[in-house]
Amino acid sequence: MKNLVALVDGSRNIHLETRDVPEPGLNEVLIEIASVGICGSDLKYWAYGKCGRFALDGTQMVIGHEAGGTIVAIGQNIKHLKPGDRVAIEPGVPCKSCEICNNGRYNLCQRMKFCATPPVDGNLCKYYVHDADFCYKIPDSMTTEEAAMLEPLSVAVYACQRGEVSLGNSIVIFGAGPVGILCGLVAKSKGAANICIVDIDSGRLNKALELGAAHTVHCCKPGEDPQKVASDILSTIGSAMGPHCSIECSGADSSLSTGVYITRPGGCVVMVGRGSMTPSVPMVCAATKEVDIFGVFRYANNYPQALALLSSGAIDVKPLITHRFTLNDSEKAFETAADSKQKAIKVMINCQ
């Protein structure tokens, strides 16, 4: 048995390399990876070798962090999983012992090891070892592609939790990529009544409408005034008071400003996307309206919720998967995901 791994180095190439199959430690499981989704952060490491504050610095890294597969071996201490179980892999393993971990916000642990965040290897490969505490058994009714989709879905569940999205709320989401669309689906399942999605790509907006958004706004041209965009959005949703919550998933700095302008007094802006390191935001407007701005960094304790949403049928993520490739064709998969002409929402790689 040999392992095959897909490496990136920031030069828009995927190098396939044969390695030994890793052995699970006492508290780990060995997983035969079946499905891996490509995420925006994966594309950044592939194309530029960096994402936000993390950089490859000339090294190679196994890419991939949205994965599902089948357990083939378990460490000596493992009781809750067995070979043959199909699992979703939560890609971040925190230290489990610091004050932040003990308080439950383990996504903020400073000793976090997260798949495909340098220098930690990801799981776009045939065989992969992971901490068993962060593997979730999926029911027979769920596919391994859906298991992979639990990663972006967990981001959306956490974003809606941070924004306290609840019954009857009006929500505006910036960005109709996978995370924006998933935020819309989660908000809807939490009873949000009026969901509007804003994007520059009309194809993505059509997908958002198909999946239940009440309104879409096609915007923005570069340099467009956020206050002008804000008034367009408010007239589209038919509410001068504005949404209870705005969720920024586009990574455009200007959307953060627009979010502050449109959000109703006492509401909140949830920042999921990442634009520049120092975006200019109308903070005085936020302060005088008591509009809170909540950061989102990945998720904590949200995999079980996301799993329940899928297995109960409350949310269907399958329509988001637009393209499929094999592990050997990973490079084509990344090129497709990066090319806006391909109209990809979620690109999946089958590793078996």
Asked if 116 is part of the footprint of Zn ion (rule: CB under 5 A), the reply reads: no
Asked if 148 is part of the footprint of Zn ion (rule: CB under 5 A), the reply reads: no
CA dihedral in degrees (240, 246, 252, 255; nearest 10)? 20
Please answer whether residues 100 and 50 qualify as being in contact, where contact means their C-beta atoms are separated by less than 8 angstroms. Answer: no
Which one of 143-151, 160-168, 292-300, 339-347 is the stretch in contact with Zn ion (CB under 5 A)?
Answer: 143-151
* Residue 107 DSSP SS3: helix
Task: Determine the Cα–Cα distance for residues 113 and 151; give it in Å rounded to an integer.
Answer: 15
Return the number of the residue (44 or 86) whose C-beta is nearest Zn ion. Answer: 44
Return the number of the residue (98 or 129) whose C-beta is nearest Zn ion. Answer: 98
Which one of 48-56, 149-157, 204-212, 314-322 is the stretch in contact with Zn ion (CB under 5 A)?
Answer: 149-157
Asked if 101 is part of the footprint of Zn ion (rule: CB under 5 A), the reply reads: yes
Return the number of the residue (85 or 151) whose C-beta is nearest Zn ion. Answer: 151
Q: Going by DSSP bridges, is the β-strand pair 292-295/268-271 parallel, antiparallel, or unpaired?
A: parallel
Asked if 68 is part of the footprint of Zn ion (rule: CB under 5 A), the reply reads: no
Return the number of the residue (89 or 214) whose C-beta is nearest Zn ion. Answer: 89
Backbone angles phi, psi at 327, to 5 degrees: -60, -40
Quick note: the x/- pattern for Zn ion over 17-46, rule CB under 5 A, is ----------------------x-------
Q: At what angle do helices 253-262 and 226-237 cross, to 10 degrees?
A: 50
Asked if 109 is part of the footprint of Zn ion (rule: CB under 5 A), the reply reads: yes
Please answer whether residues 226 and 253 qualify as being in contact, where contact means their C-beta atoms are separated by less than 8 angstroms. Answer: no
Task: Determine the Cα–Cα distance for residues 265 and 146; give it in Å rounded to an integer.
Answer: 38
Count of residues interacting with Zn ion (CB under 5 A): 8
Residue 190: how many CB atoms within 10 A of its CB?
18
Return the number of the residue (16 or 95) whose C-beta is nearest Zn ion. Answer: 95
- Cα-atom radius of gyration of the chain, to the nearest Å? 20
Q: Which of 69, 94, 122, 177 binds Zn ion (CB under 5 A)?
A: 94
Footprint on this chain of Zn ion (rule: CB under 5 A):
39, 66, 94-95, 98, 101, 109, 151
